[in-house]
């Protein structure tokens, strides 16, 4: 077992060795520019790019012509939201999204608000999910776009995408989903699921960083976008710039592997996740699961350890790489906006840890992590005035706290 | 985030973790902070004459909050009550090399000291004045 144990697969994933092997020739002998039409260097690069485009499309049930290469999901989100907003401004200026979205969506929406668009930020339920009924209630005649993520990156909740997609199509509103955490992990079929625009990112699915794709529907309806990066007119004018051929080849291979292994990998991740969860909860009391027990990303476990603060817990977990929804890990003193939007309670939000399990996680890793967590939580609870009060029968909600910050 | 060696030392080997009997007249207890803010400190002192003979803490908070309260108990022991009131959060910041985002931890530790001393004083003030009444 390697130490520290990597359990942060929602932050990023290692490149699969099969992906790296596929990429290497495109740094060496096949270094051509995919836009070069006059020689074999260019043709080889173009052929590889088109193979990747087909592999990506196949994974999500799209047509290869509907794939636009990007530098990752942040760019895909910007292109989808700003591109649609600009293109359809005459039809309306209202967008619906969620408080639990990734910052890339929230900040892009903030930008659009400054440009005169109106954005409704739906509040998720306690499991960080949205229903189609909730979306329906927020639709207006001037709504042009619904933007809701497929899988939440912090708590792993899976939205009922098919129902939301069906609603949007019935009502003639475009539907964009940030599927960064979903593609390759849960079944995605843009036709059956009624998705019009979807972004994905290579580094979350065992491909290299700095490359991704945006799916843009071409039929029923044909979605049009205003390009956000102008130049040589690459990617049918939607995204100019010389293509990152090795990165795209890697993303394509990553998608081909994911398509083959999705089902078996999901089953394995769920097994490891449940093993980790059981081990921890059989040794510790007052452990809360954040997100849904049922509608959940296979490789995500997000737990709050009551009466223990997240950053101090991370300090005690030196040999495992996880992340915390606690305030102190970021420069701000606010706990995660996702946990807040779910009404987890700031005290529990401060004590949350996200465990991300993936392709290279072993049983041994999970058992080691569980032992580390149990030891650290026990030690910190011995030191916690809150745990002592609760053990003495004090109801913390009735305490009049002094001098909070 | 990178922690100073002193913060790490206090986190890994906290001094004086525990509780004193809060009902004893010689013990002053201060509880400051709030769970939803991510830090709560309980700091207790035991006073004989005017000297602090023991100090204990329990802290819910980040590593810097744990270190600040651990350090505070170390500094309190052996000081007179008046000397203890002189402890400033800036001294804690300096000793532990706390970065700007962690200064609130040292402020909380100073508040906890003041609160424990106030509790001790009010208990003993109150003990004197209620003696006759009962
Ligand atoms: C849900 C979600 N959306 C967007 C992003 C941003 O993706 P990228 O790193 O490819 O820009 C991430 C990753 O951090 C994510 O998890």
Which tens digit of pLDDT belongs to each residue from A395-405? 988 888 875 54
Determine whether the interchain pair A401/B40 forms a contact, defined as Cβ–Cβ distance below 8 Å: yes
CB contacts of A313 in chain B (<8 Å) are: none
Does the pLDDT value for residue B65 go beyond 50? Answer: yes
Distance between CA atoms of residues B96 and B118, nearest Å: 26
Q: What is the pLDDT of residue A403?
A: 58
Q: What is the pLDDT of residue B129?
A: 42
User: pLDDT: is A318 or A86 the higher one?
Assistant: A86
Q: Active-site residue numbers of B?
A: 37, 105
Q: How far is the CA of A157 from the centre of ligand 1 (A)?
A: 15
CB contacts of A326 in chain B (<8 Å) are: 38, 62
Distance between CA atoms of residues A56 and A64, nearest Å: 8
Q: What is the pLDDT of residue A330?
A: 47
With cut-offs at 50, 70 and 90, classify the pLDDT of residue A360.
Answer: very high
Highest mean pLDDT among A63-72, A307-316, A323-332: A63-72
Q: What is the pLDDT of residue B133?
A: 39
Distance between CA atoms of residues A312 and A314, nearest Å: 5
Distance between CA atoms of residues A368 and B108, nearest Å: 35
The predicted-structure confidence for B74-85, as pLDDT tens digits, reads as follows: 999 999 999 999
Tokens 């906290």 belong to B14
Give me chain A's average pLDDT, please. Answer: 95
Residue A309: which of B58, B62, B101 has the nearest Cβ?
B62
Q: What is the pLDDT of residue A310?
A: 87
Q: How far is the CA of B57 from the centre of ligand 1 (A)?
A: 41
Tell me the mean pLDDT in the region B91-103. Answer: 95
Q: In this structure, are residues A181 and A299 in contact, taking their beta carbons and an 8 Å threshold?
A: no
Does the pLDDT value for residue B126 go beyond 60? Answer: no
Residues of A with CB under 8 A from a CB of B: 307-309, 311-312, 315-316, 326-329, 331, 333, 335, 345-347, 350, 382-388, 396, 401-405
Candidate from A10, A72, A179, A202 with most ligand 1 atoms within 8 A of CB, to mutate: A72
3-state secondary structure chain A: CCCCEECECCCCCCCCHHHHHHHHHHCCCCCCCCCCCCCHHHHHHHHHHHHHHHHHHHHHCCCHHHEEEECCHHHHHHHHHHHHHHHCCCCCCEEEEECCCCHHHHHHHHHHHHCCCEEEEECCCCCCCCCHHHHHHHCCCCEEEEECCCECCCCCEECCHHHHHHHHHHHCCEEEEECCCCCCCCCCCCCCCCCCEEEEEHHHCCCCCCCEEEEECCCCCCCCCCCCCCCCCCHHHCCCCCCCHHHHHHHHHHHHHHHHHHHHHHHHHHHHHHHHHHHHHHHCCCEEECCCCCCECCCEEEEEECCCCHHHHHHHCCCEECEECCHHHCCCCCCCHHHHHCCCCHHHHCCEEEEECCCCCCHHHHHHHHHHHHHHHHHHHHCCHHHHHHHCCCCHHHCCCECCC
Give the burial string for A350-364 (b: 16+ CB within 10 Å, else e). Answer: bbbbbbbbbbebeee
Q: What is the ipTM of this complex?
A: 0.90
Helix (H, G, I), strand (E, B) or coil at B52: strand
Q: What is the pLDDT of residue A401?
A: 85
pTM of the model: 0.92
Q: In this structure, are residues A179 and A200 in contact, taking their beta carbons and an 8 Å threshold?
A: yes
Q: In this structure, are residues A141 and A112 in contact, taking their beta carbons and an 8 Å threshold?
A: no
Tell me the mean pLDDT in the region A28-54. Answer: 97
The residue nearest atom 14 of ligand 1, judged by CA position, is A11
Residues of B with CB under 8 A from a CB of A: 1, 3, 8, 11, 14, 17, 19, 31-42, 58-63, 65-66, 101, 104, 108, 111, 115
* Closest chain A residue to the Cα of B14, Cα to Cα: A383
Give me chain B's average pLDDT, please. Answer: 91
Q: What is the pLDDT of residue B17?
A: 96
Tokens of A344: 């987890």
Q: What is the DSSP letter of B13?
A: S
Tell me the mean pLDDT in the region A48-60. Answer: 98
Tokens of A233: 């007119």
User: pLDDT: is A169 or A3 the higher one?
Assistant: A169
Tell me the mean pLDDT in the region A210-230. Answer: 97
The predicted-structure confidence for B19-60, as pLDDT tens digits, reads as follows: 999 999 999 999 999 988 889 999 999 999 999 999 999 999
Beta-bridge partners for A287: A305
CB contacts of A384 in chain B (<8 Å) are: 58-60
The predicted-structure confidence for A108-120, as pLDDT tens digits, reads as follows: 999 999 999 999 9
Does the pLDDT value for residue B127 go beyond 80? Answer: no
Tokens of A58: 């196949």
Q: In this structure, are residues A404 and A347 in contact, taking their beta carbons and an 8 Å threshold?
A: no
Does the pLDDT value for residue A327 go beyond 60? Answer: no
């Amino acid at each position: 077992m390697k130490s520290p144990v990597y359990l942060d697969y929602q932050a990023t994933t290692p490149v699969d060795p099969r992906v790296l092997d596929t990429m290497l020739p495109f740094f060496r002998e096949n270094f051509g520019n995919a836009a070069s039409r006059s020689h074999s260097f260019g043709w080889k690069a173009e052929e590889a790019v088109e193979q990747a485009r087909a592999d990506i499309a196949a994974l999500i049930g799209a047509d290869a012509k509907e794939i636009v290469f990007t530098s990752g999901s942040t760019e895909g989100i910007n292109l989808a939201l700003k591109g649609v907003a600009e293109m359809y401004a005459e039809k309306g200026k209202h967008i619906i999204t969620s408080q639990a979205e990734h910052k890339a969506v929230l900040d892009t929406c903030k930008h659009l608000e400054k440009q005169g668009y109106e954005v409704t930020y739906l509040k998720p339920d306690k499991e960080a999910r949205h229903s189609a009924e909730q979306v329906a209630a927020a639709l207006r005649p001037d709504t042009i776009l619904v933007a809701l993520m497929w899988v939440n990156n912090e708590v792993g909740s899976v939205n009922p995408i098919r129902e939301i997609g069906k609603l949007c199509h019935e009502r003639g509103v475009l539907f964009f989903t940030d599927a960064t955490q979903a593609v390759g992990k849960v079944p995605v079929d843009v036709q059956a699921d009624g998705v019009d625009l979807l972004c994905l990112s290579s580094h979350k699915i065992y491909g290299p960083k700095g490359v991704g794709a945006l799916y843009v529907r071409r039929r029923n309806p044909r979605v049009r976008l205003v390009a956000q990066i102008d130049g040589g007119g690459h990617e049918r004018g939607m995204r100019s710039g010389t293509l990152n051929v090795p990165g795209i080849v890697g993303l394509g291979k990553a998608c081909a592997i994911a398509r083959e292994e999705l089902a078996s990998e999901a089953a394995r991740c769920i097994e490891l996740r449940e093993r980790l969860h059981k081990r921890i909860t059989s040794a510790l009391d007052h452990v809360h699961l954040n997100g849904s027990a049922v509608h959940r990303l296979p490789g995500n476990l997000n737990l709050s350890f009551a009466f223990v603060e997240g950053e101090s817990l991370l300090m005690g977990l030196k040999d495992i790489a996880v992340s915390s929804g606690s305030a102190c890990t970021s420069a701000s003193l606010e706990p995660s906006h996702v946990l807040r939007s779910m009404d987890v309670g700031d005290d529990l939000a401060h004590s949350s840890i996200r465990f991300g399990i993936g392709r290279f996680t072993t049983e041994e890793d999970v058992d080691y992590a569980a032992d580390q967590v149990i030891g650290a939580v026990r030690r910190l609870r011995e030191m916690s005035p809150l745990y002592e009060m609760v053990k003495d029968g004090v109801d913390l909600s009735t305490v009049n706290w002094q001098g909070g910050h | 985030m990178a922690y100073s060696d002193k913060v790490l030392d206090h986190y890994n080997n906290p001094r004086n973790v525990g509780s004193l009997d809060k009902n004893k007249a010689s013990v002053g207890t201060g509880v400051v902070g709030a769970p939803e803010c991510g830090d709560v400190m309980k700091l207790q002192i035991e006073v004989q004459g005017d000297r602090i003979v023991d100090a204990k803490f329990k802290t819910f908070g980040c590593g810097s909050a744990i270190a600040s309260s651990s350090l505070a108990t170390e500094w309190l022991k052996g000081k007179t009550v008046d000397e203890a009131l002189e402890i400033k959060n800036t001294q804690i910041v300096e000793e532990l090399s706390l970065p700007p985002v962690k200064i609130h931890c040292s402020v909380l530790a100073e508040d906890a000291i003041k609160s424990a001393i106030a509790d001790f004083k009010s208990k003993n003030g109150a003990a004197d004045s209620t003696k006759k009444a009962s």
